[in-house]
Structure 1
Amino acid sequence: MKTIKLVAISMFIMGLFSCSQEMECPKPDPPTQPKNLISLEDAKNQLNLYDVAHPGVKGDQFALRTWISLEELENYIAYVKAESLKNGITVNGIDFMYSQTKEGKPGMPNANNEDYELTFMIAPTVKEGTSNMAFDPLSSEKGKPAFLKDILAPQDSTNAKMMSNATGGPSGIANHFGACPTICL
């Protein structure tokens, strides 16, 4: 019995001593280099291809651009991951969908993005078979992602229930980023 008390007291004192020492936290692994980086030559060539194909839809510096703050993007990713996990859905990526915020006519020029404000929306994706499918985590149910291809399709019986549940409030789709050149100059 005396031995047990002695061991217990020794462990308590060692615990106090070790806890009073400043502990070094493990350092996270450094980020790995992304696999999709391209050369500056490739970037210049791709921008030139865009400029030739879309002469009336060009920014002042390069092709049309959209700017997103890191804070906004990181917050969005954390939010859609958390909302999706509530329904047991694991986000595997982000889908970027080009859109515009003002009406335009076919062939209408859009110099400096002033005429009809091209932009893009983003939505989380989930693996569905061999595809990565965009979905709305706020319209999803347990284990059933609400796929945008169904929700945003022309109104029919497939998406009528999902659309009738829409309150006009926010969805899991984001936009209102800083369209360039409007905000980036």
Structure 2
Amino acid sequence: MKKFGSLILGILLGALAMYYYFNNNQDMTTEPPTIKPPSGIITPEEIKTLDQAYNERYEIINDSLFKDSKTGDNRSSWYKLEDIENYLAYAKQQAKENGNTLDGLRLYLGAHPDTKEEEGLTTLLFVPTGYKNTSEGSFISMQGGGNDLEDSDGLNAGNEGMPPRANYPQ
């Protein structure tokens, strides 16, 4: 009778373990997970609208500063995906080392300095944003957010548009 009770108990425990295993491992599909789009996504039509709305400003800048230029000022910057991914990892690490938490990136318009060889074209700079880590006792307090992390490096290694004055799409 003892052996029979142990057998029944073993079967019940085995069935319970199998039930738990199969119910927690049902997500064995071969399809990749659906990625939810982030906030701020715009359609190609909206991109064209924003790009065209910039034309008047671009012409004012270009006609006044680049009137004798062969190419005109730059309208876009292109970054390799690998460079952006590496920069995000680097910015997170640098922010942590500096006692900050990275919470985003800000894009600034900038311009390369003019040289004897060429005029300095407009560029886009990535600047990390975040907040200082402060602690009170064992609690971590988050203050603000979205502020430029002035002790962190930015990214400016994009290539200009082809040609520099080209509208969307290139």
Shorter-chain TM-score: which interval?
Answer: 0.5 to 0.7
Q: Which TM-score applies when normalising by structure 2? A: 0.56
Give the letter aligned to residue 45 of structure 1: A
Contact 1:51-1:63 within 8 A present in 2 as well: no
SS in 1 for 2:54: helix
Query: Residues 15-48 of structure 1, C-alpha deviation per residue, up to 9 Å, x if partnerless?
Result: 6777998713783442156267746344213122
CA distance in 1, matches of 2:130, 2:80: 24
Q: Percent identity?
A: 18
CA distance in 2, matches of 1:101, 1:62: 11
Corresponding position of 1:133? 147
SS in 1 for 2:37: coil
Residue 72 of structure 1 and its aligned partner are, at CA, apart by: 2.0
SS in 1 for 2:130: strand
Give the letter aligned to residue 148 of structure 2: A
Change (3 A) 1:132 1:36: farther
Change (3 A) 1:130 1:46: farther
Corresponding position of 1:163? none
Change (3 A) 1:80 1:131: closer
Q: Which TM-score applies when normalising by structure 1? A: 0.53
Corresponding position of 1:93? 104
Query: Residues 105-136 of structure 1, C-alpha deviation per residue, up to 9 Å, x if partnerless?
Result: 9xxxxxxx94224423322012586673221x
CA distance in 1, matches of 2:85, 2:111: 23
Report the RMSD for the aligned CA atoms in angstroms. 4.3
Corresponding position of 2:11? 6
1:101-180 alignment runs, 5 A limit: 101-103=112-114, 114-127=118-131, 132-135=146-149, 147=150, 172-180=153-161
**Could you list the runs of 5+ residues in structure 2 that have no partner in the other structure?**
133-142
Task: Decide which of 32, 37, 40 is 1:34's aligned counterpart.
Answer: 40
Residue 96 of structure 1 and its aligned partner are, at CA, apart by: 2.4
Change (3 A) 1:41 1:10: closer
Change (3 A) 1:39 1:178: closer
Query: Residues 126-178 of structure 1, C-alpha deviation per residue, up to 9 Å, x if partnerless?
Result: 2586673221xxxxxxxxxxx25xxxxxxxxxxxxxxxxxxxxxx62222221
Give the letter aligned to residue 9 of structure 1: G
The alignment covers a number of residue pairs equal to 145
**Could you list the runs of 5+ residues in structure 1 that have no partner in the other structure?**
106-112, 136-146, 149-170
CA distance in 2, matches of 1:20, 1:36: 36
Corresponding position of 1:46? 54
Corresponding position of 1:158? none
SS in 1 for 2:59: helix
